[in-house]
A = this chain, B = another copy of it.
């Protein structure tokens, strides 16, 4: 077998992503310029574009990186774990909320920009959905274990429940512009677990 060519530098991904995260948080999506990312990472633009063919690809890679750092803990008490998990998601959103802000705009434009970026390219969208699928799978498992333990209803629509909880956070951040935090997470969990219908006496 002949040589396979010069191998890719392993530290490039690391350095570029770090620089990109920095820039994204500093200046928001508009400020995430490939030129400057490359410069900060000490890498040629061509190298950057070889791995992320578009600014959007890079941006979504950043999200994936940030997302994958999140973990989930299962204490056996769903009423404790669920708010904790939601709070983590909220923290991520809040972090984006501060990104590149100049005034006092309460909405999280950067999150929206990233979703939009993903949607602009079929391949990126697929990648992004994978990232979220990984996260969601963990949460689904958490909920199912609670079902098995008898903490939650046996015929629970786990997917619907999870969408409701997470979705509420996103909706509030993206659309309503209201704050999300521990307190809100607990309200959500409480409302979802108890149910809205008047209890049968």
Contacts and interface: CB of A to CB of B under 8 A. Distances in A.
Interface of A: 29-30, 103-110, 112-113, 115-116, 118-120, 122, 125, 128-129, 132-133, 136, 150-154, 156-157, 159-161, 163-172, 174-177, 184, 187-188, 190-199
Nearest to A2: B44
A160 B175 contact: no
A168 B171 CA distance: 8
Given A157-B190, A194-B195, A196-B161, A116 B119 contact: no
Contacts of A191: 156-157, 160-161, 164, 192
Contacts of A129: 107, 175-177
Contacts of A157: 187, 190-191
Given A129-B177, A168-B164, A171-B167, A195 B192 contact: yes
Contacts of A151: 197-198
Interface of A is mostly: helix
Copies in the complex: 4
Given A115-B109, A116-B109, A160-B188, A171 B166 contact: yes
Most B C-beta atoms less than 10 A away, residue of A103, A153, A156, A195: A195
Contacts of A199: 153
Contact of A107 (B119, B177, B184): B119
A64 B199 CA distance: 38
A120 B195 CA distance: 37
18 contacts: A105-B125, A109-B120, A112-B115, A112-B119, A113-B119, A151-B197, A152-B198, A153-B195, A153-B198, A157-B187, A160-B187, A160-B190, A164-B191, A166-B171, A167-B168, A167-B171, A167-B172, A194-B195
Nearest to A118: B107
